[in-house]
Copies of this chain bind each other. A is one copy, B any other.
């Protein structure tokens, strides 16, 4: 059982309108009442491009925001994807240093943000609407290979049978592909964040995941390799930035790129030419 002396990093994603804020508020409040200290971070790489803020979204969590055990904030960063990554990984570390032990990292699901959040958390939850068939196309491609737990939300009233069918569809779809984690079969649950039905059940499933990973001793090794991977991704991004800023590269690039696009130069030769102009200026 996850306890107050450890930390648990939870990635949460889902399409717009699925009720992410309501779910996070319900789960977060439930955990605060159990004396966990809960931090909610929202990641929005799109703000890097649009300059937009998502604080409006997270401040909708009135009840949770007011709880003494909770800390709720939007993405602390503008700037490049690297900037968002860095400030988010740093924010997770800071929250843990300050004693928060359940870190809920929400992503609005733009671009590569799910992969990013999955790569910095212990467990990855997908929130799904109670829907079937074509409507499930709203679920982003490739996300099925990232999930550890799928939660079909809004499973109350008239939508309950539809939610149950969606859950069955997910279970069938999860049969495709080799498992992401050989120690864990992705689980599907239904809940209603609004009525709070089965929110405790979702937490129980998250705990089963936690216990399984702890039992196998892979929780800490996963975090180690995550940190190492981020270090290398940041190095790579910085190297490309330096390359693009190089004046000789810039003057070669326009023509080389056009020749490659037109098929008069292979990609490999073009890369050689660019590396030559970069090397010559060092």
Contacts and interface: CB of A to CB of B under 8 A. Distances in A.
A275 to B, nearest CB: 5
Interface string A131-173: 0011011111111110000000000000000000000010011
A271 B177 contact: no
B231 A177 contact: no
A256 B228 CA distance: 10
B270 A141 contact: no
A141 B178 contact: yes
A144 B177 contact: yes
A137 B179 CA distance: 8
B274 A175 contact: no
Interface stretch (A31-39, A42-50, A67-75, A234-242): A234-242
A267 B234 contact: yes
A254 to B, nearest CB: 12
Interface residues of A, number: 52
A53 to B, nearest CB: 22
A145 B144 CA distance: 10
A20 to B, nearest CB: 18
A130 to B, nearest CB: 15
B243 A239 contact: yes
Nearest to A141: B177
5 contacts: A86-B267, A93-B266, A136-B177, A141-B180, A230-B267
Nearest 8 interchain pairs by C-beta:
A141-B177, A230-B267, A234-B271, A86-B268, A141-B145, A231-B267, A239-B239, A224-B261
